[in-house]
Amino acid sequence: SQQGEEDPQALSIQEGENATMNCSYKTSINNLQWYRQNSGRGLVHLILIRSNEREKHSGRLRVTLDTSKKSSSLLITASRAADTASYFCATGYGGATNKLIFGTGTLLAVQP
Amino acid sequence: DGGITQSPKYLFRKEGQNVTLSCEQNLNHDAMYWYRQDPGQGLRLIYYSQIVNDFQKGDIAEGYSVSREKKESFPLTVTSAQKNPTAFYLCASSPGLATSETQYFGPGTRLLVL
């Protein structure tokens, strides 16, 4: 399966701490994206990093991509209770495949 | 107010019944998608459409059907052939024809079997 795998499956931290989630994939990609899902809601796009980029920032989010290890990490700094959600990585494949494939997600709980 | 809407929020299906989930977008996006999400799982692609009057099967199309008669609408029918339909269904769209690019999601429809 091309599906990304995320690690850890669940993470519990205190407000103000940093949260790091990892995503690994199996075949070469065009891009890698991170999405957030609040319980029972749709997904919200957070950030996209292309295969020729190594790091990207957006507010309190920092994403890294290591194509040699086929892995990415999402860092949320100074976490807030409102960051509690599931976070999914999605790998984008161009060319004939032309798909976006979602991982199984990391459930983040930020304790106030 | 632009976005993607899905209705209904909750849907109940009886044995042998076909049900249709609605998805509408006013973002002027070309591509639209249907995903299924089971508890604690990621999303699995059911069908997608890159242009009006054309659609493609995803990874788990069996027991589902779609139509794309208008750019803004992509309804999903869960047929009686789908033996395990209980799940959370998400509709998404993206601006262009590259389905590997950023997707924008609706709020979802939860389907339950009576």
Higher pLDDT, B19 or A92: B19
Six token digits for residue A74: 């999402």
Q: What integer best gives the mean pLDDT of chain A?
A: 92
Residues 53-82 of B with CB under 8 A from A: none
- Chain B residues closer than 8 Å to A98 by CB: 98-100
Q: What is the pLDDT averaged over residues A27-53?
A: 94
The percent of residues above 70 in pLDDT, for chain A, comes to 94
Question: What length does chain B have?
Answer: 114
B98 touches chain A (CB under 8 A): yes
CA distance A28 to A44: 24
Residue-level pLDDT at A98: 66
Do strands B10-13 and B109-113 pair parallel, antiparallel, or not at all (unpaired)? parallel
Q: What is the pLDDT averaged over residues B19-43?
A: 93
Q: What is the pLDDT averaged over residues A48-70?
A: 96
Higher pLDDT, B61 or B100: B61
Q: What integer best gives the mean pLDDT of chain B?
A: 92
B108 touches chain A (CB under 8 A): yes
Residue B39 banded pLDDT, cuts 50, 70, 90: confident
| Cβ-defined contact of B43 to A40 (cutoff 8 Å) | no
| Cβ-defined contact of A45 to B104 (cutoff 8 Å) | yes
Q: What is the pLDDT averaged over residues A7-13?
A: 94
Give SS3 for A107: strand
Residue A3 banded pLDDT, cuts 50, 70, 90: low
CA distance A108 to A11: 5
| Cβ-defined contact of A99 to B100 (cutoff 8 Å) | yes
Q: Which of A85-99, B41-55, B74-88 has the lowest mean pLDDT?
A: A85-99
Residue A2 has pLDDT above 60, yes or no: no
| Cβ-defined contact of A45 to B103 (cutoff 8 Å) | yes
The percent of residues above 90 in pLDDT, for chain B, comes to 77
